[in-house]
Structure 1
């Protein structure tokens, strides 16, 4: 090409450089949009996983929060799609510019070659040779510059791009949907209750017999794996069991409509969800129908003694958003407890290891306050600590899916069995609380 005419060399090099430099121009905007896409992708991806995550289903069903989260996901997805469209428009714009340059360049090559043919009698063979040489030269130079531009863009993202792994665990949902409207008038009766998880040969619940009267406070104690949480999920209708195993005022639990149960039950699970959105969402999901009741929400936040950004309800928490405040385990647990306080007029309150992240003294104080709130509510507390058991109407001690002992604190202390051993081991944790309670009583008497 150089031997035929130097003008083709100059044109080819200049064109390739200018075409390649165009790839550098949108880099900053593309980097900004890519980061924005990543942030928005994390948000709508998180909400999507929140909705479909197996371990989340029990809480979402009970709080009837699926449609609420679906709407939030839809809004985030729309924002993500807008950013994606903007990115595509930028790519299309600069592609059009480069294509236009290619058309103009090829036209100039044809014009220049035509003039040279006219003056120097160039042959068709020269034309083919020049065209191929120009294309190879411009293509190689352009791709070299293009690769440099991509390397620059990729390098900017290198340290911020990480792989994401998702973990899920098996969850078995009861498939029977009843039609009865739930209402607890007298008692919950559990008779010879048995339950085995799929792919397991060991019974998680083995012949459970238990009577819970309306308004009772029942504390279920036991080590991990003793069957406490499984029993709770059966009582909530989340697991399928024999129809006569669990009766509500004589009616099998699977004959009740699930939503009617969940409307009357407030639950704080051990594996509660940390909603990485706002304080308002974390509290409001406890009672979606009253989500907009901000005054009640402020009272709840003051009650659980969590001070986050002056309890601004729109404060973002977690790690999904750059402006979010990350919380300690105790703060997350207080937010989970706030969902119980936010629920209006529940008939049953269940706490499944709900205060495990709190120290024993703080746990007892919280439960004393909870029981004060639950004077007319049937309350079931699952724990491996005995601190609150003294105030229970009934204590149930479980081991390997069976009930070992049940009775009041005084009754179980007298028989000196498993509960007695647990109490003697842990009682020193609560001596200060007993002293404070005694001092308060004494001051009242004085």
Structure 2
């Protein structure tokens, strides 16, 4: 495309100079037009060529914008026309009142460019009970985030099954399953608008801004945040507010406290997590803060892609492989 544009640009310049030369030298020889008229016409043409070139050059840009807008509108229309299977809605309603999420011998393998098997996570068998606070610890590269992607069904399982109250998660109910989770990853993106939340309680939002001590920096105006010119730690606090307002039964935090100062790190463990637990929200958090491990109901350690319980004997329903 760039080659074609460069080729067309060169030819347009050649054509312009040829026509200007014909106007300046050929017209006086072939007609009785005075040199003064030719000079004035040529000068006017030279002044006009810039604006005309800008207008002509902008036409492809407008064409690309129109094509992109048409594709976006077509995508929105196709999404609106999608209809969920009848059992999808009923399962989503049932999942919202789930009692436990079960992982049975779940495993995932990263593939290298040559198709060779790379780092593996699992096999993992685990029962996450509703309302519990689960901490996952482990060194860098141990597979903690990969495990979260596997749990959230963002990575496909190579082996094993994920189920909710005994209902296996498959293609017909995977969206209902994913809608159980509000997530804040370590490299999360914070949107200016509060997507996925049609209605929220302004009083609750105000209380959350005060709880996270960010009300002096940003506020929720309708469904949009007034400003996102914040530090990384402050953006994580706003992301926490958005996650809570989504009203989903499970919150997943990937090293949320790592970007906070010591004061807010302690507040996360001693105030925010108990606040979520009291609200009946299940919390799954990756953390390295051993000072606050006592806050968790269950603590698990990841090493070389294997998950094991720590400081507790796993029960039959919490078996880890």
TM, length-normalised to structure 1? 0.47
What residue number does 1:129 align with? Answer: 31
Tell me which of 216, 224, 242 is aligned to 1:339. Answer: 242
Distance change in 2, residues 1:135/1:389 (3 Å): farther
Distance change in 2, residues 1:241/1:335 (3 Å): same
Distance change in 2, residues 1:192/1:341 (3 Å): same
CA contact (8 A) 1:196 1:205 kept: yes
Structure 1 residues 99-110: aligned runs within 5 Å: none
CA contact (8 A) 1:245 1:252 kept: yes
What residue number does 2:173 align with? Answer: 257
Distance change in 2, residues 1:236/1:384 (3 Å): same
Give, in angstroms, the shift of residue 353 of structure 1. 1.9
Distance change in 2, residues 1:130/1:255 (3 Å): closer
What residue number does 1:388 align with? Answer: 292
Higher radius of gyration, 1 or 2: 1
Distance change in 2, residues 1:289/1:308 (3 Å): same
Distance change in 2, residues 1:363/1:132 (3 Å): farther
Tell me which of 111, 120, 139 is aligned to 1:223. Answer: 139
Tell me how far apart the structure 2 counterparts of residues 251 and 266 of structure 1 sit (CA, whole Å). Answer: 21
Tell me how far apart the structure 2 counterparts of residues 135 and 402 of structure 1 sit (CA, whole Å). Answer: 87
User: Where is the strand percentage greater, Structure 1 or Structure 2?
Assistant: 2
CA contact (8 A) 2:153 2:178 kept: no
Distance change in 2, residues 1:129/1:191 (3 Å): same
Distance change in 2, residues 1:138/1:188 (3 Å): same
Distance change in 2, residues 1:242/1:184 (3 Å): farther
Whose relative contact order is higher, 1 or 2, with alpha carbons under 8 Å and at least 6 apart? 2
Tell me which of 96, 105, 129 is aligned to 1:192. Answer: 105
Tell me how far apart the structure 2 counterparts of residues 400 and 299 of structure 1 sit (CA, whole Å). Answer: 41
Give, in angstroms, the shift of residue 184 of structure 1. 5.6
Tell me how far apart the structure 1 counterparts of residues 128 and 198 of structure 2 sit (CA, whole Å). Answer: 29
CA contact (8 A) 2:186 2:256 kept: yes
Give, in angstroms, the shift of residue 238 of structure 1. 2.0
Instruction: Give the gaps of 5 or more residues in structure 1.
Output: 1-124, 151-176, 319-325, 412-446
Tell me how far apart the structure 1 counterparts of residues 29 and 158 of structure 2 sit (CA, whole Å). Answer: 87
- Listed one character per residue, the Cα deviations across residues 245-281 of structure 1 (whole Å, up to 9, x for unaligned) are 3232222222662443344322222222122x3xxx2
Tell me how far apart the structure 1 counterparts of residues 125 and 268 of structure 2 sit (CA, whole Å). Answer: 29
What residue number does 1:299 align with? Answer: 207
Secondary structure, in 3 states, of the residue corresponding to 2:110? coil
Tell me which of 352, 371, 389 is aligned to 2:254. Answer: 352
Give, in angstroms, the shift of residue 312 of structure 1. 6.0
Tell me how far apart the structure 1 counterparts of residues 49 and 235 of structure 2 sit (CA, whole Å). Answer: 47
Instruction: Give the gaps of 5 or more residues in structure 2.
Output: 1-26, 53-84, 314-321
Tell me how far apart the structure 2 counterparts of residues 126 and 388 of structure 1 sit (CA, whole Å). Answer: 92
Distance change in 2, residues 1:336/1:249 (3 Å): same
Cα RMSD of the aligned pairs, angstroms, is 3.4
CA contact (8 A) 2:28 2:34 kept: no
CA contact (8 A) 1:188 1:247 kept: yes
Secondary structure, in 3 states, of the residue corresponding to 1:388? helix
TM, length-normalised to structure 2? 0.64
Structure 1 residues 8-27: aligned runs within 5 Å: none
Distance change in 2, residues 1:406/1:309 (3 Å): closer
Give, in angstroms, the shift of residue 337 of structure 1. 0.8
Aligned residues: 244
Tell me which of 268, 291, 296 is aligned to 1:366. Answer: 268
Structure 1 residues 1-400: aligned runs within 5 Å: 128-131=30-33, 133=35, 136-146=38-48, 179=88, 180-181=91-92, 182-183=95-96, 185-199=98-112, 201-242=117-158, 244-254=160-170, 257-275=173-191, 277=192, 281=193, 284-285=194-195, 287-291=196-200, 293-308=201-216, 311=219, 313=221, 316-318=226-228, 326-344=229-247, 346-375=248-277, 376-400=280-304
